[in-house]
């Protein structure tokens, strides 16, 4: 199975690397990192560079297309949206993590679809005709969206379970020892202490820049 993961300047690394680490571990799967131009892409913090091995023009079609979020997601019409629509026309699964769902929406792919996003940008989905759904992983037809950043791991394990079966997903999960034990119960606005939630709402540019 071929998986194309979109990279772009200002993206969030874990949005892409979490699902990559899951999907790449099933034998026979091939992951290709693609971007507007092949070559280095600087992530949103400015501290990390990932490399796209192919340009959008060069990328062969793939069964799974995955779009990560970031500080500066491509939300205006352009080559990324054109590529996404073409990739979606032949994909088996079109997927996103975090505000990647807004990119899918802006490309016109989530109209009338249930989808999720980072909790701070969930309502933005309505701008694109999508139905905001506050769940960690949302599947509507062939569109699978994950919530903020770290949710890409759960998204990818869910996909692997759907596509190959639970045993394959469990083997990969055990391989990457995904037995999460967060030291604090603060991963969602429903669980985190109110002052922490308020702090992030008032300083949302620490997390998203929309």
**Dihedrals phi, psi of 169, to nearest 5 degrees:** -65, -40
Query: Would the CA dihedral through 147, 207, 33, 171 be positive or negative?
Result: negative
What is the distance in angstroms between the CA of the first residue and the CA of the last residue of the chain? 34
Asked if 28 contacts 60 with a C-beta cutoff of 8 angstroms, the reply is: no
Q: Which stretch binds its own copies (CB under 8 A): 25-33, 54-62, 103-111, 123-131?
A: 25-33
Residue 98 annotated in active site: yes
SS3 209: coil
Radius of gyration of the CA atoms of the chain, in A: 16
Q: Which stretch binds its own copies (CB under 8 A): 13-21, 60-68, 79-87, 126-134?
A: 13-21
Of 81 and 124, the one with the shorter C-beta distance to its own copies is 124
Q: Which stretch binds its own copies (CB under 8 A): 54-62, 74-82, 102-110, 173-181?
A: 173-181
CA angle 40, 44, 45 (to 5 degrees): 105
Interacting residues toward its own copies by CB under 8 A: 12-14, 17-18, 20-21, 24-25, 27, 30-33, 40, 45, 47-51, 53, 98, 118-119, 136-137, 147-151, 153-154, 157-158, 161, 166-167, 169-171, 173-184, 186-189, 191-193, 195-197, 199-200, 206-207
Active site residues: 98
């Amino acid at each position: 199975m071929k998986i194309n993961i979109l990279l772009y300047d200002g993206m969030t690394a874990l949005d892409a690397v979490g699902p990559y680490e899951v999907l790449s571990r099933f034998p026979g799967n091939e992951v290709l990192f693609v971007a507007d131009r092949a070559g280095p892409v600087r992530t949103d913090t400015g501290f990390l560079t990932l490399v796209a091995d192919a340009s959008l023009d060069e990328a062969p079609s793939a069964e799974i297309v995955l779009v990560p979020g970031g500080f500066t997601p491509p939300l205006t019409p352009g080559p990324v949206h054109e590529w996404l629509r073409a990739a979606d026309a032949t994909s088996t699964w079109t997927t996103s993590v975090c505000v990647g769902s807004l990119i899918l929406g802006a490309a016109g792919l989530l109209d009338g679809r249930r989808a999720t996003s980072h909790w701070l940008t969930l309502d933005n989905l309505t701008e694109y005709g999508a139905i905001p759904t506050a769940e960690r992983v949302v599947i509507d037809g062939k569109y699978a969206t994950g919530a903020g950043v770290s949710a890409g791991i759960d998204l990818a394990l869910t996909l692997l379970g759907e596509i190959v079966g639970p045993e394959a997903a469990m083997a990969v999960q055990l391989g990457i020892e995904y037995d999460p034990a967060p030291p604090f119960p603060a991963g969602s606005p429903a669980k985190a202490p109110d002052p922490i939630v308020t702090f992030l709402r008032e300083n949302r540019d620490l997390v998203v820049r929309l």
